[in-house]
Structure 1
Amino acid sequence: MSLVLVLTLAGQRVALLADAMESVVEIEAIAPVPGAAPHVAGLSALRSRVLTVIDARASLGFGPTESPRDAVVAIVDGHPYALLVDTVEDVVEGGEPRPLGASAGPGWSRVARAAVEAEGSLMLLLDLPALIAGPAAEAA
């Protein structure tokens, strides 16, 4: 069993491994970065450090998050990121990750690493680095 962070993204309940997360925050202000990839919402400050803000919906190819506020903060390859999501629910115990039995569908296939049962539901367990990398990483 492992702890997972349950959240809603693009209208679907999904999970991230909790040990990869640093905190859950509300993003107050995002400064756009000219020339950045479309899934990079911009930069934000949190406790005297700069975070690259990633729009998870845009990373999936579903368009930008409307009125983003909830974000999950994580360090990936030594760099701090804030991942904008629809809502963050809770950290709960999840079952053992299991292979996906079929394609996760458009947008999700690139970031779904497995399925995990949590709170009586089977949900996609997402790959955080793949979400951060965005859709251009798949084409490269």
Structure 2
Amino acid sequence: MIPAKLVTVVLGGQVLGIDVARVQDVIRLGTVSPVPLAPHWIAGVMNLRGRIVTAIDLRARFDLPPRQDRAGSMCVVVEHQGEPYGFIVDDVGDVIDLAPDQIEANPPTLDRRWQQVSDGIVKLDVLMVLASVRAIMDTELAAAA
């Protein structure tokens, strides 16, 4: 199903669109407590209004260099298989409306890391990747990253 509205986020200079129906909250990144023996892309856990949320460092997940100052990072809280996860991103943009005819197939030149999680692309002022929450959370793909 094609999402009608997307939350736009920026990660390492790439604009991603996440289906707004999957987004529970958008917050400034707060205190994250590390989890021993967790995969490198799990930043830790955080408390969000009494709920424990697993924080996913999307820079680490996609093998991007770490951000120098994490203080300005944002967190997009999504639900996956009934559990909340916080995607740590560089910035959050707007909620945009999307028409089905705006979506195009991934171009062959799209970076591999984005191809593995992309449900297509949208050409705005920049190229936006439609990011699949399911694919981002796929641990086999993440382990290969």
TM-score interval, normalised by the smaller of the two chains: 0.7 to 0.9
Counting helix residues as a fraction of each chain, which structure ranks higher?
2
Equivalent position of 2:50 in the other structure? 48
Equivalent position of 1:72 in the other structure? 76
Superposed counterparts of 1:1-140, under 5 Å: 2-66=4-68, 67=70, 69-96=73-100, 97-118=103-124, 120-133=125-138, 136-137=141-142, 139=144
Instruction: Give the count of matched residue pairs.
Output: 138
Superposition misfits of 4+ residues, deviation over 6 angstroms:
none
> What is the alpha-carbon distance in structure 2 between the residues aligned to residue 2 and residue 121 of structure 1?
19
Q: Structure 2 length as normaliser, TM-score? A: 0.84
> What is the alpha-carbon distance in structure 2 between the residues aligned to residue 81 and residue 103 of structure 1?
30
> In the TM superposition, what is the alpha-carbon distance from 1:70 to its structure 2 partner?
0.3
List gaps (5 residues or longer) in structure 2.
none
The amino acid across from 2:99 in the alignment is G
> In the TM superposition, what is the alpha-carbon distance from 1:98 to its structure 2 partner?
2.5
- The CA RMSD measured in Å over matched residues stands at 2.1
> What is the alpha-carbon distance in structure 2 between the residues aligned to residue 103 and residue 26 of structure 1?
33
> What is the alpha-carbon distance in structure 2 between the residues aligned to residue 98 and residue 136 of structure 1?
23
List gaps (5 residues or longer) in structure 1.
none
> What is the alpha-carbon distance in structure 1 between the residues aligned to residue 28 and residue 107 of structure 2?
35
Q: Is the 8 A contact 1:3 1:94 kept in 2?
A: yes
> In the TM superposition, what is the alpha-carbon distance from 1:29 to its structure 2 partner?
0.2
Q: Structure 1 length as normaliser, TM-score? A: 0.86
